Chain A
Amino acid sequence: MAEIDETELPGVGLRREFTTRGGARLGVITTRTGRRDLLLYDEDDPDTCRSVVPLDEHDSDVLVDLLGGDKVSGAASTLLQLEGLAIDWVRVAPDSAAAGATIGDLRIRTRTGASIAAVLHGDESVPGPGPEVVLPGGATVVAVGALDSVARLAELLGP
């Protein structure tokens, strides 16, 4: 996967960008209000965007669909968020202190309140993992819980 640069925009949201294999620079801003801005950087002046396309949640779903993403999971997560519940894909950063530890060692339920519904690593997937399952760096976990529990989990597994 391409390297994704993350930049926090105080008061606005989060900006993530990467360079395509063809050399174009693309980015997405996720704003607090849920709007997403699709950014295409200018090749002549890489400090600016050639075009900025604002997408509301429906637009984002359509775009994800066109790009071959799974629309159902997106819809499920919106539904769940309405109930105050979040389902999220959280990456275990390779340089995270948590990388390589087991779910039990990390006491994830106790410390974050979030549950891990599955661990995905390479082609392997462990649905409903027990406390003995190791979280290797670079793996992705599917986390379920209250919004802030999932946020705490993301922090724990982050770099």
Chain B
Amino acid sequence: MHGVVLAASGAAVTDAFVELGAVVLVLAVLARLSHRVGLSPVPLYLLAGLVVGANGILPIRAAEGFAEIGAEIGVLLLLFTLGLEFTPRELTGALRRGARSGVVDLVLNATPGVLLGLVLGWSPVAAVLLGGVTYISSSGVVSKLLDDLGRLGNRETPAVLSVLVLEDLAMVVLLPVLGVLLSGASLGDGAVDVVVAIGVVVVVLFLATRFGGHLSRAVHSGSDEVLLLTVVGLVLLVGGLVQRLDVSSAVGAFLVGIALSGPVQERAAALVNPLRDLFAAVFFFVFALNVDAGALPPVLVPALALAAVGVVTKVLTGWYAAGREGVGPDGRWRAGTALVARGEFSIVIAGFGVVAGVEPDLGPLAAAYVLVMAVAGSLLARGRRAPARLRIGIGRPGADNLKKSGKAQDPL
């Protein structure tokens, strides 16, 4: 113990402090900027990583090991807080209500990514990962947009939130499958592993919904300190153990989040969110830092094409999902544009591929795509009304019903 302390006071640590401090401060300035403009900070973090990676200012050498572990912790905490957002009841409720919209969402939005990957001659695994990147909306950006724009009360909002919940659920099934595919197992073994991996998830999800109350009571403590240590320890431990079963550690973290409920859930969120913000920012930065700047220009055209398609497919998804709940054209348009933003989880998915080294162009393409989509999503969602062409001829069945009956029938 004594030796460790002595070594830790050496010059290497001083360097690491300076490096980390500089990076985190740069990220802080960017976060401040993004709050002022009202955009998600994620594209700015990525941009900072790209710039730093390209010209070598702010080199990270002494702190490299810490930054990489920090980035991994960022992924775990992102998934944990995501799981924390939803209760098992909301998950099953969303499944019952919006399963069809969820399928439409998956088919419309994952297909362009998978197809482009295959067209570019990538391996099937890399193509599936790109499908994941284009599929998943940024629940962080979308829920913040809905809140900031005062849309939580809107008729289309439950449809939007249901789509987000189902995407998260889909990701929990997708991640272990990807884990198996990425480990490079042969087709026969792979199939078995995939079944095992999904089995593990289903069992844990079942245990979480069934016995989550017990876990929440066991974790509960009046002291913030005890609660924080317990929760973070649990997330890392379960994440690590699940990873040993070849299921992504992120899935373990998500499931811990799902299992916590009641008062513990809210307090844990309040305590862990600041930690998550710190480590997730490091993750986005490190992800972009590892992107080879020279690889960016060739992927710009595919990324922009994918972005253009991605806007259309998400608008269609929202249009469909809100339409099923009897919402008028303006609301359906709002639902669609609200879903356009892609962000943190697209990067998380691409990150798995980058770590496994499946396709050198995946990182740059995902970074460029998210940069465009995070900004485009935030801007598009601000429009309140559908373009005139969409409104003409469609009429407003939902709205007319509401007016005539004088009472909104809530289709839920």
Would you list which residues of chain A between 39 and 59 have a CB under 8 Å from chain B?
39, 41, 45-49, 51-52
CA distance A46 to B153 in the complex (A): 10
Would you list which residues of chain B between 364 and 412 have a CB under 8 Å from chain A?
384, 398-399, 402-403, 406-408, 410, 412
Pairs of residues from A and B, 6 with the lowest C-beta to C-beta distance, nearest first: A47-B331, A39-B153, A47-B155, A52-B150, A10-B90, A11-B85
Residues of B within 8 A of A25 (CB): 408
Residues of A within 8 A of B410 (CB): 5, 7, 17
Would you list which residues of chain A between 97 and 154 have a CB under 8 Å from chain B?
147-148, 151
Would you list which residues of chain B between 136 and 178 have a CB under 8 Å from chain A?
139, 143, 150-158, 161-162, 164-165
The residue that B263 contacts in the complex, of A48, A49, A52, A84, with Cβ under 8 A, is A84
Smallest Cβ distance from A68 to chain B, in angstroms? Answer: 24
Q: Are A47 and B152 in contact (CB under 8 A)?
A: no
Q: Are B153 and A15 in contact (CB under 8 A)?
A: yes
The residue that B161 contacts in the complex, of A10, A45, A84, with Cβ under 8 A, is A10
B79 at the interface (CB under 8 A from A): no
B277 at the interface (CB under 8 A from A): no
CA distance A56 to B410 in the complex (A): 27
Q: List 13 A-B contacts (CB under 8 A).
A: A5-B410, A8-B90, A8-B93, A12-B161, A17-B408, A19-B406, A19-B407, A47-B331, A48-B153, A48-B334, A49-B154, A148-B262, A151-B262
Q: Are B158 and A5 in contact (CB under 8 A)?
A: no
Q: Are A46 and B402 in contact (CB under 8 A)?
A: yes
A29 at the interface (CB under 8 A from B): yes
Q: Are A9 and B85 in contact (CB under 8 A)?
A: no
The residue that A10 contacts in the complex, of B164, B399, B403, with Cβ under 8 A, is B164
A37 at the interface (CB under 8 A from B): yes
Would you list which residues of chain B between 95 and 114 have a CB under 8 Å from chain A?
none
Q: Are B86 and A11 in contact (CB under 8 A)?
A: yes
Total interface residues in chain A, CB < 8 Å: 31
CA distance A12 to B90 in the complex (A): 10
Task: Considering the complex, give the chain A residue whose CB is closest to the CB of B89.
Answer: A8
B311 at the interface (CB under 8 A from A): no
Smallest Cβ distance from A147 to chain B, in angstroms? Answer: 6
Q: Are B158 and A8 in contact (CB under 8 A)?
A: yes
Residues of B within 8 A of A52 (CB): 150, 152-153
B328 at the interface (CB under 8 A from A): yes
Q: Are A148 and B213 in contact (CB under 8 A)?
A: yes
CA distance A69 to B90 in the complex (A): 31
B15 at the interface (CB under 8 A from A): no
Smallest Cβ distance from A79 to chain B, in angstroms? Answer: 15
Known: A11-B90, A45-B330. 7 other contacts (CB 8 A): A7-B158, A9-B152, A11-B161, A23-B406, A48-B153, A48-B330, A151-B262
Task: Considering the complex, give the chain B residue whose CB is closest to the CB of A26.
Answer: B153
Q: Are B399 and A46 in contact (CB under 8 A)?
A: yes
Task: Considering the complex, give the chain B residue whose CB is closest to the CB of A42.
Answer: B154
Most buried by B among A9, A11, A25: A11
Provided the pairs A11-B165, A48-B384, A49-B154 are in contact, do residues A147 and B402 lie with their beta carbons within 8 angstroms?
A: no
Task: Show the binding face of A for B, using Cβ within 8 Å.
Answer: 3, 5, 7-12, 15, 17, 19, 23, 25, 27, 29, 32-33, 37, 39, 41, 45-49, 51-52, 84, 147-148, 151
B256 at the interface (CB under 8 A from A): no
The residue that B408 contacts in the complex, of A12, A33, A46, with Cβ under 8 A, is A46
Residues of A within 8 A of B94 (CB): 10
B181 at the interface (CB under 8 A from A): no
Q: Are B153 and A33 in contact (CB under 8 A)?
A: no
CA distance A46 to B86 in the complex (A): 28
Residues of A within 8 A of B158 (CB): 7-10, 15
CA distance A158 to B156 in the complex (A): 26
Smallest Cβ distance from A45 to chain B, in angstroms? Answer: 6
Smallest Cβ distance from A92 to chain B, in angstroms? Answer: 21
Q: Are B156 and A47 in contact (CB under 8 A)?
A: yes
Q: Are A10 and B93 in contact (CB under 8 A)?
A: yes
Most buried by A among B85, B93, B156, B408: B408
CA distance A52 to B146 in the complex (A): 12
CA distance A15 to B188 in the complex (A): 49
Smallest Cβ distance from A16 to chain B, in angstroms? Answer: 10
Would you list which residues of chain B between 303 and 352 have a CB under 8 Å from chain A?
327-328, 330-331, 334
CA distance A104 to B258 in the complex (A): 35
Task: Considering the complex, give the chain A residue whose CB is closest to the CB of B269.
Answer: A32
B266 at the interface (CB under 8 A from A): yes
Residues of B within 8 A of A147 (CB): 262-263
Would you list which residues of chain B between 18 and 56 have a CB under 8 Å from chain A?
none
Residues of A within 8 A of B331 (CB): 45, 47-48
Smallest Cβ distance from A12 to chain B, in angstroms? Answer: 6
CA distance A39 to B213 in the complex (A): 33
Residues of B within 8 A of A37 (CB): 152-153
Task: Considering the complex, give the chain B residue whose CB is closest to the CB of A31.
Answer: B152
